[in-house]
Copies of this chain bind each other. A is one copy, B any other.
Amino acid sequence: MNEFNNPKQVHPPLGAYSHTVTVPPNATWLVLSGQVGVDAKGKLRAGMRGQAVQVFRNILACLRANGMHKEDLVKLVVYVTESRLIEEYRVARAEMLGGDVLPASTLLVIDGLAQPDMLIEVEAWAAKG
């Protein structure tokens, strides 16, 4: 089983994540491409809320298709194109993952993604013992 920890010597997490996740030697890993807000028909959703919800739909579909679940997520790297969009991302994340899925995480504001109207991309790693 993966173990999610927050060492006492480090400040409490500043959001919905764990400082560390331990993955045991017998784990199968699932490596995901960065997911963007494109739906199953190939259409980029409008706005941060629509794109962020779609990103997590895609991540959850990738997990399910490989026999994994959101509890198996061990790492998220979240890229947004404007800092003013961070709060809206957090709301969508809470809605889609709930409050008890706490992989190690990183949040970054970057210049751009593969297409100019993409506002968010999320990389995920999962592992199952």
Contacts and interface: CB of A to CB of B under 8 A. Distances in A.
Q: Say which size band chain A's interface belongs to.
A: 35 or more
Contact of A32 (B20, B34, B108, B113): B20
A11 to B, nearest CB: 5
Contacts of A31: 20-23, 74-75, 103-104, 125
Interface in A71-117: 74-75, 77, 79, 83, 86, 103-114, 116
Interface string A1-38: 00001011111111101111111111111111111101
B40 A9 contact: yes
B106 A123 contact: yes
A110 B113 contact: no
